[in-house]
Amino acid sequence: MSKRHYIIPIFVPHEGCPHNCVFCNQESITGNEEVVDESYTRNVIENYLKTIDRDNSIIEVSFFGGTFTAIHIDKQKRLLKVAKEYKDKGYIDYIRLSTRPDYIDNIILNNLKKYGVDIIELGIQSMDKEVLEKSGRGHLEEDVYIASKLIKEYGFTLGHQIMLGLPGDTFLKDIKTTEEVISMKPDICRIYPALVVKNTPMEIMYNNGIYTPYSIKEALNICKIIYSMMIANGIQVIRVGLQPTEEINVGKDIVAGPFHPAFRELVESSILNDMIYEFVVEENLKDFYIQINSKDISKLYANKKEFFCDILGRLKTDKVKVIQNNGVNQGEIIIGTDKNCNCLSISSYILKKYKEGNFDIS
């Protein structure tokens, strides 16, 4: 049985961050207003560990929320020392942090290596100069290349976080950013459609008609492409969309933008149903059934069966039998008729689409 992965999040809201990006209100994003010190860090770790079966788990402590490596070096050491203590005792397996690309250098990386950090995620957001400037990022595209190269040279796991639909952005710019990300060979990636959060410069831009976020449909379409590009190039996508919290919900802290509590599932469901539709049309199937692993059924039926019902409508049928069969591998489905059956792989479908350059960016 595979071990379950647990993340113990330590949110360091806005501390250390040298810039006020137009999209950012860290108190809202993290939901945290407490002072983060050694005692706080220890308490969070202890409280999480009480709920986790360590023998059957992979556990990591993750420092998120601000620009960790821009915090005063003494505080970095104090916080990391607590996490390293638990790692050295075997209570946790990994230490992760997020930071900006312009706050990475040899001195910083030597210190992170000393304190047992394993994974460094860079909030790069975009590789387009205009988008970076309009978003108030305060760093250049070159900083991302330099930081990514250094992180990999030191042997850390490299992560990139990108944000789609920022001021000045377009689908083509999002794709160009992704192509540049792929060239840097990160191990993992997070994909976030930009949201308008309360009490941010972007809220003012939105209210003044200067900025319009992607709609849900637009964000879904571009995220499908970016997700597929990452997967096709062996980059693990560890998140799509901002996760819901009590603070992050439309009507509370989200003013506008493509927020959905299960955005990744929308993306994966749309891709899965595209694959089914294209295969059925190509093979000219009339009566067919689908076999799918029970753990994937939510992807087939996501958003109240929106995508599944859409393809049935386009195929002009409502007589498709869906059979849950755990003999089918996750990430695969079987489409069959009374004469034969075919096993389809989502990853193979994505790779084929990527190699053919068959993406609709309309």
CB 119 within 8 A of CB 94: yes
pLDDT of residue 246: 47
Q: Is 362 among the domain residues?
A: no
To the nearest 10°, report the CA torsion of 40, 98, 126, 16: 60
Are residues 118 and 100 part of one domain?
A: yes
Mean pLDDT over all residues of the chain? Answer: 91
CB 259 within 8 A of CB 247: no
User: CB pairs under 8 A, 24+ apart, for 30-35?
Assistant: 30/64, 30/65, 31/245, 31/246, 31/247, 31/248, 32/65
Are residues 123 and 36 part of one domain?
A: yes
Q: What is the mean pLDDT of residues 194-215?
A: 93
Query: How many domains, in total, are found in the chain?
Result: 2
Residue-by-residue DSSP string for 298-333: HHHTHHHHHHHHHHHHHHT----EEEE-TTSPTTEE
**Structural domain ending residue among the three candidates 223, 245, 261:** 261
Q: Is 207 among the domain residues?
A: yes
Query: 77 or 359, which is more confident?
Result: 77
Are residues 236 and 100 part of one domain?
A: yes
**Structural domain ending residue among the three candidates 261, 296, 328:** 261
Are residues 307 and 198 part of one domain?
A: no
List the domain range (segments joined by +) for residue 44: 4-261
Its pTM stands at 0.91
CATH number, domain at 298?
3.30.2320
Residues 98-116 pLDDT 10s? 999 999 999 999 999 999 9
β-sheet bridge partners, residue 236: 188
Are residues 309 and 191 part of one domain?
A: no
Residue 32 amino acid letter? N
Are residues 129 and 93 part of one domain?
A: yes
Q: What is the mean pLDDT of residues 89-96?
A: 98
Are residues 223 and 132 part of one domain?
A: yes
Q: Is 361 among the domain residues?
A: no
Structure confidence at residue 157 as a pLDDT band (50, 70, 90): very high
Ramachandran bin of 211, using left for φ above 0, alpha for ψ from -120 to 50, beta for the remaining angles: beta
